[in-house]
Amino acid sequence: MADHLKRTFLGLRALFLNLVLFLGGAALHAQEAAVAPRSADSESVTDADFLAAADEVLGQMSQITGLKLVTPLKKSLRSREEIRAYVIKQMNEEKNPEERYADQRSAEAFGLLPKGFDLDSFMVNVLTEQVEGLYDPKTREFYIADWSPLSDQRMVMAHELTHALEDQHFQIETWVKAARPNEDAELARDAVLEGSAMAAMVDYLMLGTGRSLKDLPDFDPGMLIGDLGSTPTLQKAPPFLKDTLIFPYLGGLTFSAAVMRNTGWSALAGVFEKPPVSTQQILHPGLYRSGKAPTIVSLPPVEKLLGNNWSKLDENTMGEFGWKEVLKQFLDNDRAKTLAAAWDGDRYTVFEQKQTKKLMLAARLHLDSEEHAARFFGQYSEALEKKYAERKNLLRRPNFFSFDTPEGGVFLDCLGDECVVLEGTTRSIFDAFTKALNWPLAPQPPEKLGSVPTKTAMIAIRGENIVAASGVDSKFPASYRAYALTLRAERQEASNRPFA
């Protein structure tokens, strides 16, 4: 669900975190790219000086990117209060309060945000705190923050004026929204915008050196961020929000550098003509070049299973970036990154019970192989146990795992190269869900097990002689072999039964 929250601030086109500035210059110097020093600004800089600097930088960015200015650009200086008012206005225009509430609750369902986290206030504060300048594609106007020194503003201008030039050639607002309703694909397009503007800013820093980003094969985009904990708002932010804010910039920069490595800025038009279809293609540019698209995944009509007491908050696609963020909440970063890379498509939905406000999450995930689906089952089982501190009635079988929590039952089931997870629901709803997918019936709790099917070998009581059964490793305890045999027989029998 990581992609869900990104829509809360998609379209703000803001350069935050004081990206690059002189830190970026020092980073590039470390890459043997000398940056010409800029003179210090006097305190007598006027509005006319800012606007003149913007015109100068605009001409330089046009030269760097090869994008000519089609129509004159509106430019204006804005105070911190005006920037804050603009941010709030953009948030309200992008999504109404109900939609933003759904974003927040959906993030809670995945464990990405703590319960009760005030996402609206956070976004307003962090963007007001960090914004140095921005381009508004709706009004086609460039805003400059009046509290920032002119030397710093030139870096901001390089980034935001790249957006302005791209907008005049590719209509960036319409282009990004064309990916809807797939939020993962929309985020991928946003990464193209922010990443290409970052690449242009790096080239701006290297003006006069005879080199550009494509000449730095070992360039590390992470050097451009600085200390995330240096700002009060971000210091308190959940890790997911930090990653979400940064991904379009750094992930997009890495993607842009890979795409433009051989041909330079002439490749940009091709990316707008054939945009990436997923965050997976941003994270792995080779998959973009090969044209690998994710599998389309669908869900059964969950609302029919739940009834009228539940309201649907959201249904969308997480993507590789989103699942990586979910896994990072409960596993280490390396495991999360490796496991998420096996993503090959997904679909999720979140419901809220009207009276109690409890959440129900259902997700179906397609992996790129059965081996990776089995690995996902093992590691996501671990993640679910870390996610829910209060657990009882654990049932663990090959490819199936469930337990009860105060919020409802949690179920994880994998079959072939797919896995489904339901959280905050009942066993009957889960069974109806998998039945609608035409999946075999999952193992039942021990007390519900009936007589042993005839095709299952006879298993003696613990302590008695055990008759060997074909296909069951004798190194496992007798009780486990009994359940494994029963599971195999029940699932084979169930797979032969037609479902409605």
**Confidence at residue 45, expressed as pLDDT on a 0 to 100 scale:** 61
Average pLDDT over residues 69-83: 88
The per-residue pLDDT of the chain, averaged, comes to 81
In tens, the pLDDT along 120-141 reads 888 777 766 667 778 999 899 9
What would the two tokens of residue 479 be? 């009780």
Q: Do β-strands 133-136 and 400-405 pair in parallel, antiparallel, or remain unpaired?
A: unpaired
The answer on pLDDT for 185 being more than 80 is yes
The answer on pLDDT for 305 being more than 90 is yes
* Percent of the chain whose pLDDT exceeds 90: 57
The answer on pLDDT for 12 being more than 60 is no
**Confidence at residue 289, expressed as pLDDT on a 0 to 100 scale:** 95
The answer on pLDDT for 384 being more than 50 is yes
- Furthest-apart CA atoms within the chain: distance in Å: 94
Average pLDDT over residues 272-278: 98
Average pLDDT over residues 183-205: 95
* Percent of the chain whose pLDDT exceeds 70: 76
Average pLDDT over residues 273-300: 97
What gap in Å lies between CA 370 and CA 419, rounded to an integer? 10
**Confidence at residue 95, expressed as pLDDT on a 0 to 100 scale:** 81
Q: Give the contacts of 92 (CB within 8 A, at least 6 positions apart).
A: none
**Confidence at residue 280, expressed as pLDDT on a 0 to 100 scale:** 98
The closest alpha carbon to 5, from 104, 114, 110, belongs to 104
The backbone torsions φ and ψ at residue 182, rounded to the nearest 5 degrees and listed phi first, read -75, 105
The answer on pLDDT for 54 being more than 80 is yes
What gap in Å lies between CA 446 and CA 483, rounded to an integer? 9
**Confidence at residue 36, expressed as pLDDT on a 0 to 100 scale:** 33
Most confident of 119-128, 201-210, 362-371: 362-371
In tens, the pLDDT along 309-327 reads 999 999 999 999 999 999 9
Of the pLDDT bands very low, low, confident and very high (cuts 50, 70, 90), residue 21 is very low
Average pLDDT over residues 10-23: 35
Dump the DSSP string for 251-320: HHHHHHHHHTTTTGGGGHHHHHHS--SSHHHHH-HHHHHHT--PPP-----HHHHH-TTEEEEEEE--HH
Average pLDDT over residues 270-297: 97
Give the single-character DSSP code of 444. Answer: P
C-alpha of 442 from chain center? 30
Average pLDDT over residues 280-292: 96
Of the pLDDT bands very low, low, confident and very high (cuts 50, 70, 90), residue 93 is confident
Average pLDDT over residues 379-408: 97
What gap in Å lies between CA 314 and CA 123, rounded to an integer? 20
In tens, the pLDDT along 479-497 reads 333 444 344 444 444 433 3
The answer on pLDDT for 470 being more than 50 is no
| 392 vs 469, residue with greater confidence | 392
The answer on pLDDT for 98 being more than 50 is yes
| 143 vs 194, residue with greater confidence | 194
What gap in Å lies between CA 167 and CA 173, rounded to an integer? 8
Average pLDDT over residues 291-315: 95
The answer on pLDDT for 459 being more than 60 is no
Of the pLDDT bands very low, low, confident and very high (cuts 50, 70, 90), residue 92 is confident
The answer on pLDDT for 15 being more than 80 is no
Q: Which amino acid is at 371?
A: E
| 226 vs 151, residue with greater confidence | 151
**Confidence at residue 9, expressed as pLDDT on a 0 to 100 scale:** 39
What gap in Å lies between CA 446 and CA 64, rounded to an integer? 68
The closest alpha carbon to 190, from 6, 58, 8, 323, belongs to 6
The answer on pLDDT for 414 being more than 50 is yes
Average pLDDT over residues 417-443: 97
Helices assigned H by DSSP within 329-448: 333-340, 370-387, 427-436
